[in-house]
Structure 1
Amino acid sequence: MPADDRVSVAYEAALSGDVASVRGQPGVRPLVAASWARSLRRGLDPDRPHTEVAITHADLVGQRSRSPLAAAMPVVRDLLVDAVADDGLIVALSDGFGRLLWVEGNRRVRDEVGRIGFVEGAVWREDVVGTNAPGTALATGRPVQVVGPEHFTRPVQAYSCAAAPVRDLASGRVLGVLDVTGGAPAASGVMLALVRASAAAVERELARLTRDDAGPHAGPRLGALGPTPTLRLPGSPAQRLSLRHAELLTLLAEGPGGSTADELAVLLAPGALSDVTVRAEISRLRRVAGPLLDGGRPYRLAVPLATDVAEVRARLASDDVGGALGAYPGPLLPRSVAPGVERLRAELEADVRSAVLRSADPDVVERWTARREGADDHAAWDRLARLSPPGSAAHARARGRLTLLDRALR
């Protein structure tokens, strides 16, 4: 039996509820079987991809301009778009949420896939559309090729696709997914290798641009959001910080007037530290931060220090909630138990959450519910249910999660 036929038989068996028998069946890759199982558990419709474009063109343009991937689009066009368009293929680049920000390439194929919802602005995560290369690459965090009948929804089975995540090399965070979609050429091993190489080239280009941004005229910047704190000094690439050094710089950035050793001791530890310990920590920090610290007392910064915390606040102040979410990769120094940091962490998360719950943009609310902080946020799921069109995938997902949360509360 041809390989495609074996996959089709296994696919129908999986849809009938016999998922267990599909695992290990000849011709069915474990990655595909696992993705089918996830798609079935989510109750996705195999006959229609429930893609949504709940975003205006103006908002799409804004998201593109804010995306770090925008700077790498010339590389994508040179390496992929120009190379594959004549072969009846298209190239898509999504953000880390799974939204297709750019879809370029062969015009005929773009029109064809547009009829199944593969268009700029649409979300093609696996939990929305089922097994597909860009969505499954985002779900698994690794390069994926999905060939014809391996797709979960039948209308997509006319196409093949190869995709690879694009990461920030400094932090490892997935920024988006690079994908090639079309006919038989997209199913080749050569195409998957080309996509992987192109994604790696994009990562290197973004890293180069980051180094250039850290030139002699760029000011110092503290990255304290998420699990890996970093400090970038003028003329140098970003360096990882110890948790204690990140705590000190965060507290000093929040109090530009300076803090005494006694004040820092109370802010740094639940039981307070000794003055001697604080002075020793500051001394070690000077070896890392150099001229960033003033030489006198009380302890203060010698020059302004930009922080990602301040960027999130600025975007919230200008009512750019989507931009604030994009600049908020995670809680402030999540491993810290310093009382001063815990207070700032709680305040910032509360500010972001409040802005999300006030937002009238269902995409913003859905992005919050997709995060760890929003996964069990009853108010956010309720807001998403109210904002999403009845019958849409987002509305159904929100109603289902509300049912689970209500059951758990009872």
Structure 2
Amino acid sequence: MHEAALSGTSPPAQPRAVIGASWQRMRRLGLDPDHGRDGSPLSAAELEARRRASRLAEALPILRGGLMSVAEEAAHIMVVVDADACVLWRDGSNPVRHRADRLGFTEGVSWDERHVGTNAIGTALIARRPMQVYSAEHYVRSHHAWTCAAAPLHDPRDGSLLGVVDLSGPAATVHATTLALVDTVARLAESQLRNAHLAELERLRAAALPVLAKVGERALVTDEHGWVAAVSGVEPLDRVALPRGCAPGEVWLPALGGCRVEPVPGGWLVRLSGDSVQEPTRAVLDVRSPRNCTLTVTAHSGTWSYPLSPRHAEMLFVLATHRDGRSAAGLALDLFGDAERTVTVRAEMSRLRRRLGAILAPRPYRFADDIEVVLERPEAPELVLPHSTAPALRAPR
């Protein structure tokens, strides 16, 4: 199949859809199937700075505890990369590490698809799901002696992609349960990060309650990411979307309307002012990066960005390309190919509208009529939400 894909002849069978899509991207990039594309590794100082800045450092003990013994016994290495596919840490079997050195698979290098072709790390960052890539599924021939299994990790505070944890080794050592193990350990690491965030939020809550008691008006206290620690006179909610670079003053918030924002230790005091604050006039849906899709909304009081989950990115993409709106049944058909799945669609739209407020309108679901909507997409059609299996996304690709 690999040789047929490179030569343009008819393959004996079709590769997995996610592999075939990746090979198509590599051919469009013109990547050398023998050597890939050389990249400059980070200096020792740059690598250390990335390690210190990454939240993956907090998850490293869990990742090592869950995977290192397996890596040693199964002749594998454990690799942790950031959201840019830069290798931050690499541990495991010494013989396999030496083989990886000869391949250039070392700390500080970029292991994304643009440099090394189809591989579990780079492809998982684009597909946004756990990936196992075996032997000739790798686009670059020098990687055919390898097998790798990778799972992405997300920051529970804002849903952003932190990076990927991977187990790699000789192709002969492939095992059907490796991917499940890597994914399970990745979920444990995310749980640890989530528990750490909940502990921070609990500390903020203890400090916020006396503050709210003195306010005497409708207000709430959030952390720097908009997670609500405590409320007074406001219906309880989990999170509010704060403007990018939030600063004290008047601001319009999607879920609350006009507010006054004041800093408190560890977060923000948000007072519901009831004042007439200009609502947003422009929304930019940016799906150029398959790793980080965002909705950026501009209002008179500032600009804020909302990181999107894969599902919400799909839904907003459909609405941005159908300004007249979609019914629940229509969205279900767009997303799942099944017009009966309206319950799922309504639940997801309810979550979105709680976060985005007046930006989205119901009956039919659509962007509000008075908002300018800009859709920023990559030039290559196959790079538009490549992780998506929704019929509305598959058809253009």
Query: Normalized against structure 1, the TM-score is what?
Result: 0.57
Task: Give the percent of matched residue pairs that are identical in Structure 1 and Structure 2.
Answer: 33
Instruction: Work out whether residues 146 and 187 of structure 1, in 8 Å CA contact, stay in contact via their aligned partners in 2.
Output: no
Distance 1:330 1:135, change over 3 A: closer
**Which whole-Å deviations, capped at 9, do the CAs of 1:195-251 have from their partners, x for residues lacking one?**
111111111111112222334268765546xxxxx234379x99321x5xx46x977
2:141 matches 1:159: no
Instruction: Work out whether residues 166 and 199 of structure 1, in 8 Å CA contact, stay in contact via their aligned partners in 2.
Output: yes
2:4 matches 1:13: yes
2:51 corresponds to: 64
2:104 corresponds to: 117
Q: Give unmatched runs, 5+ long, in structure 2.
A: 208-220, 269-291, 306-374, 380-397
**Which whole-Å deviations, capped at 9, do the CAs of 1:89-119 have from their partners, x for residues lacking one?**
0010110111111111001101111111111
Instruction: Work out whether residues 150 and 157 of structure 1, in 8 Å CA contact, stay in contact via their aligned partners in 2.
Output: yes
SS of the equivalent of 1:210 reads helix
- Alignment partner of 1:340 out of 273, 280, 301: 301
1:198 corresponds to: 185
Distance 1:189 1:338, change over 3 A: same
- Alignment partner of 1:254 out of 248, 266, 272: 248
1:131 corresponds to: 118
Distance 1:302 1:56, change over 3 A: closer
Distance 1:214 1:89, change over 3 A: same
SS of the equivalent of 1:165 reads strand
Distance 1:303 1:38, change over 3 A: closer
Q: Give unmatched runs, 5+ long, in structure 1.
A: 1-9, 225-229, 256-263, 270-279, 286-298, 308-328, 346-371, 377-410
User: How far has the Cα of 1:154 moved from its partner?
Assistant: 1.1
Instruction: Work out whether residues 72 and 92 of structure 2, in 8 Å CA contact, stay in contact via their aligned partners in 1.
Output: yes
1:239 corresponds to: 238
User: How far has the Cα of 1:27 moved from its partner?
Assistant: 6.4
What are the within-5 Å matches in structure 2 for residues 19-98 of structure 1? 21-22=10-11, 25-26=12-13, 28-98=15-85
SS of the equivalent of 1:240 reads coil
Amino acid at match of 2:248: E
Amino acid at match of 1:90: I
User: How far has the Cα of 1:152 moved from its partner?
Assistant: 0.8
Instruction: Work out whether residues 216 and 234 of structure 1, in 8 Å CA contact, stay in contact via their aligned partners in 2.
Output: no
What are the within-5 Å matches in structure 2 for residues 352-363 of structure 1? none
Greater alpha carbon shift after TM alignment, 102-111 vs 49-58: 49-58
Aligned residues: 267
Distance 1:150 1:268, change over 3 A: closer
Instruction: Work out whether residues 116 and 140 of structure 2, in 8 Å CA contact, stay in contact via their aligned partners in 1.
Output: yes
User: How far has the Cα of 1:268 moved from its partner?
Assistant: 4.8
SS of the equivalent of 2:162 reads strand
Distance 1:330 1:140, change over 3 A: closer
User: How far has the Cα of 1:40 moved from its partner?
Assistant: 1.0
Query: Normalized against structure 2, the TM-score is what?
Result: 0.59
Instruction: Work out whether residues 97 and 125 of structure 1, in 8 Å CA contact, stay in contact via their aligned partners in 2.
Output: yes
1:391 corresponds to: none
Instruction: Give the Cα separation in 2 of the matches to 1:137 and 1:76.
Output: 17
SS of the equivalent of 1:26 reads coil
User: How far has the Cα of 1:304 moved from its partner?
Assistant: 4.8
1:384 corresponds to: none
Instruction: Work out whether residues 72 and 205 of structure 1, in 8 Å CA contact, stay in contact via their aligned partners in 2.
Output: yes
2:264 matches 1:303: yes
**Which whole-Å deviations, capped at 9, do the CAs of 1:315-369 have from their partners, x for residues lacking one?**
xxxxxxxxxxxxxx888x712x421204x99xxxxxxxxxxxxxxxxxxxxxxxx
RMSD of aligned Cα (Å): 3.4
What are the within-5 Å matches in structure 2 for residues 173-184 of structure 1? 173-184=160-171
SS of the equivalent of 1:93 reads strand
Amino acid at match of 1:166: L
Instruction: Give the Cα separation in 2 of the matches to 1:300 and 1:200.
Output: 35
2:323 corresponds to: none
Instruction: Give the Cα separation in 1 of the matches to 2:61 and 2:14.
Output: 38
Distance 1:86 1:281, change over 3 A: closer
